[in-house]
Amino acid sequence: AQTVTQSQPEMSVQEAETVTLSCTYDTSESDYYLFWYKQPPSRQMILVIRQEAYKQQNATENRFSVNFQKAAKSFSLKISDSQLGDAAMYFCAYRSPFTGANSKLTFGKGITLSVRP
């Protein structure tokens, strides 16, 4: 079974600065998908960024980018120019390349990010 580990329960960043959120995972599969989701206090889970394991290039979405290290099974999220609206819980998630129950999202425990004005 796949597992996702987010070992930092909380992080804080100054507005306009850069922060990196860590995530490691364990799998025996060679192809898979990795995600970072944001869950603000309003509770609605929002997809921030996704990475396909077969792609060597790290995904980027505006101020959000990832550092995907497949051999190390590491998938960190970098948030540049942090904004107050970035304050939320962030979840790292894994998804197998199969259908049915195997295509479920497996989430880490999450990290609470606070942004200081």
Partner 1 sequence: DAGVTQSPTHLIKTRGQHVTLRCSPISGHKSVSWYQQVLGQGPQFIFQYYEKEERGRGNFPDRFSARQFPNYSSELNVNALLLGDSALYLCASSLRQGPYNEQFFGPGTRLTVL
- What is the contact surface with partner 1 in residues (CB under 8 A)? 4, 32-33, 37, 42-47, 50, 91, 93, 95-110
Residue identified by tokens 């979405």 is 61
**Rounded least distance, CB 59 to partner 1, Å:** 13
**Rounded least distance, CB 15 to partner 1, Å:** 26
Taking phi over 0 as left and psi of -120 to 50 as alpha, with beta for the rest, 62 belongs to left
Of residues 17 and 29, the one with the C-beta less far from partner 1: 29
Of residues 4 and 77, the one with the C-beta less far from partner 1: 4
CA distances from 80 to 17, 64, 71, 98 (A): 6, 7, 25, 33
Q: Which of 21, 48, 53 is nearest to 35 (CA)?
A: 48
**Rounded least distance, CB 117 to partner 1, Å:** 26
Of residues 13 and 34, the one with the C-beta less far from partner 1: 34
